[in-house]
Amino acid sequence: MQRRVVITSVGVISSLGFTAEEIICNLKNENTSFEKSIFDDEVVVSPIKEFDVKNFAGRFKDKRYLNRGAQFCVASAIEAVKKAGIDKKLLAESGLFLGTGPNLDIGGEFPEIKDGEIDRKDLMALWMLKFLPNTAASVIARLVGIHGENHTLTTACSASIQAIGEAFRKIKHGYIDLAFAGGGDSRLSKSAILAYKKAKALFNGMDDPDKASRPFDKSRAGFVPGEGGAFFLLEELEHAKSRGAKIYCEICGYGASIDGYSMTAPEPEGKWAERSVNAALQEAGLTSSDIDVVSSHGTGTLLNDSMEADLIDRVYGKRAPFIIALKSWIGHIAAACGAVELAICLACMQNSYLPKIRNLDEPCHDRLNFVREEREYPIQSILLENFGFGGQNSALIVRKY
Amino acid sequence: MDILEEITKILSDILDIDDRNISPETYLIRELGAESIDLLELAVALNSRFKIDVNDDEIFLRKLRQYITKAGQQNKDILQYLAEKIPFLTRKRLEDIITDLEGGPTLKVKDLMAYVEMQRNGN
């Protein structure tokens, strides 16, 4: 019999809150954290205020090696472990799959850098750990006692959906019975802002920060960086049932592809991005008409949103699913966007609630079913899309169980 | 700069523990659980705060057991041999260390203090 995979725990650290209840409440009240960056007043960001990894993980000395993105990884993973309610033996057997980003905070790490000289008397002996992509995995595993199969994926904005997708397949194909999967990221530092501003990817210049993130709107002008993390316990269905675990949803399909087109821009027709969406549908044994909601990548950049709108139009045709764009609420969390968006999607599924796409005044595509007013809806299935720098594409399908 | 106070600050920072867990008699590895990676950071911090050259092998008594074996092989007086090799520790302290070997790594906070003291006086 085909093994099925379900999600049995959710840990999330987002600007909308740390629990499903908080997230739904803040969606309904439109409580967002958009504000001007303290580093550049032309740039808007969506930070998480008063975050301290100690509040989640307690005191631990390895904290000194965690960049801010890795701290979100660790904090949300610990949350998922706490809520999983599994014993040490199961934890030891669990896999661990993460999507992480680079530490772009070069200026913060080396404030006096000059002539390429980064050495100074108090430079940490193992300063490199703050830049290695698998530091978060190492710290999580040690803190909670995970010893199973592990991968750290660094496929840009598609990384955490791919981490979840890879974990899903490892369980489905019988290599492991359970795995924690997700990601964390933060790119709000001075250097990170500079990086995306120079790449002309950032929203730039409007007076009202609340209006900056506007996926699929004709006047969209770039993405707004956010931060956070989310982790899930993925578990084989019978395994979950036998221990009486709470089941949040079933994961039924995953797909990924690479454009082979540009280092930054998506292939304009979304040809290869579509391949990842179709692969996910095929694995799930579903057709596009079975999908209720598309949680779009919707960055608010000119190129992504026009590509993605055309792609959705092609894949779903006349039977248009609801389209949501969660980056209009939390900004773009880079490598962790997929994980945090999945956590919000599950909160919405649980509460039969569809949040509107904020700031969508004039849609860039007229046939699509963008959610423009919040509404109640008994969501049965969601397809999540994430497309990243480097032409990384991914799609994941979850279904109510 | 008070050496104990400063070392306490460094240790509590690196190991993320409370100051009150640290005294001159505290064992670094046995009690505070310092690992090799922590000792690397400790050497950097001592180096930077006290402006001294820290030799990791010397300050963390890494060759202690090697010295003891060698003294035995060469039929030398262990205490005398150690006193020559580890000049920053007093004879009294070295005697204590020799009787304490079975309990595990003997390095104490006061040994770090003695090393810093010696290096500063040397400068």
- Which amino acid is located at A88 in the chain? K
Provide the whole-model pTM.
Answer: 0.94
Which chain A residue lies closest to B10 (C-alpha atoms)? A122
pLDDT tens track for B3-45: 999 999 999 999 999 999 999 999 999 999 999 999 999 999 9
CATH number at residue B91: 1.10.1200.10
Written as six digits, the tokens of B116 are 């810093």
* pLDDT > 70? residue B123: no
Tell me how crowded residue B62 is: count the other CB atoms within 10 A of its CB. Answer: 15
- Which amino acid is located at A345 in the chain? C
- Residue A317 has a pLDDT of 85
pLDDT tens track for A186-229: 999 999 999 999 998 999 877 799 999 999 999 999 999 999 99
Across the interface, whether the CB atoms of A64 and B45 are under 8 A apart is answered no
* pLDDT > 70? residue A97: yes
- Count of domains for chain A: 1
Range(s) of the domain holding residue A259: 5-399
Whether the CB of B17 is below 8 Å from some CB of chain A: the reply is yes
- Of A67, A47, A50, which is closest to residue A139 (Cα–Cα)? A67
- Residue A215 has a pLDDT of 98
* pLDDT > 70? residue A176: yes
- Residue A185 has a pLDDT of 98
* pLDDT > 90? residue A154: yes
Residue indicated by tokens 């089941």: A247
Task: Choose from B12, B13, B32, B41 for mutation: most chain A CBs within 10 A.
Answer: B41
- DSSP run (H or E) holding A55: helix A54-57
Instruction: Choose among A60, A124, A125: nearest Cβ to B16.
Output: A60
Across the interface, whether the CB atoms of A61 and B43 are under 8 A apart is answered no
Across the interface, whether the CB atoms of A121 and B17 are under 8 A apart is answered no
Cβ atoms of B18 and B1 within 8 Å: the answer is no
Residues in a beta bridge with A393: A257, A387
State mean pLDDT over A312-339.
95
Whether the CB of B44 is below 8 Å from some CB of chain A: the reply is yes
- Residue A146 has a pLDDT of 98
Residues in a beta bridge with A10: A232
Phi then psi for A179, rounded to 5 degrees?
-155, 145
Across the interface, whether the CB atoms of B48 and A63 are under 8 A apart is answered no
Q: What percent of chain A has pLDDT over 70?
A: 100
CA angle B16/B17/B20 to nearest 5° reads 150
Whether the CB of A119 is below 8 Å from some CB of chain B: the reply is no
- Complete DSSP assignment for A309-375: HHHHHHHHTTSPPEEE-THHHH-B-GGGHHHHHHHHHHHHHHTTEE---TT-SSBS-SSS-B--S-E
Neighboring chain B residues of A143 at a CB cutoff of 8 Å: none
CATH number at residue A143: 3.40.47.10
- Of A382, A349, A383, A373, which is closest to residue A20 (Cα–Cα)? A349
- Residue A162 has a pLDDT of 98
- Residue A204 has a pLDDT of 83
Whether the CB of B21 is below 8 Å from some CB of chain A: the reply is no
Whether the CB of A123 is below 8 Å from some CB of chain B: the reply is yes
Instruction: Choose among B37, B40, B48: nearest Cβ to A122.
Output: B48
Phi then psi for A97, rounded to 5 degrees?
-125, 120
Task: Choose from A54, A59, A61 for mutation: most chain B CBs within 10 A.
Answer: A61
* pLDDT > 60? residue A332: yes
Confidence of residue A49 (pLDDT cuts 50, 70, 90): very high
State mean pLDDT over A150-154.
98
The set of catalytic residues of A is 157, 297, 332
Range(s) of the domain holding residue B36: 3-122
Neighboring chain B residues of A60 at a CB cutoff of 8 Å: 16
How far is it, in rounded angstroms, from Cα A395 to Cα A223? 20
Confidence of residue A318 (pLDDT cuts 50, 70, 90): confident
Using alpha carbons, list the distances in angstroms from residue A167 to A77, A122, A392.
14, 40, 18
* pLDDT > 80? residue B122: no
Give me the torsion for CA of A372, A376, A378, A384, rounded to 10°: 30
- Count of domains for chain B: 1
Mean per-residue pLDDT of chain A: 96
- DSSP run (H or E) holding A254: strand A249-258
Across the interface, whether the CB atoms of B14 and A61 are under 8 A apart is answered yes
Residue A302 CB contacts under 8 Å (≥ 6 apart), including other chains:
A220, A221, A222
pLDDT tens track for A64-75: 999 999 999 999
State mean pLDDT over A314-336.
95
Q: Above 0.90 for ipTM, yes or no?
A: no
Neighboring chain A residues of B44 at a CB cutoff of 8 Å: 121-125
Task: Choose from B6, B10, B13, B16 for mutation: most chain A CBs within 10 A.
Answer: B16
pLDDT tens track for A390-400: 999 999 999 99
Question: Residue B5, exposed/middle/buried by CB under 10 A (0-12, 13-18, 19+)?
Answer: exposed
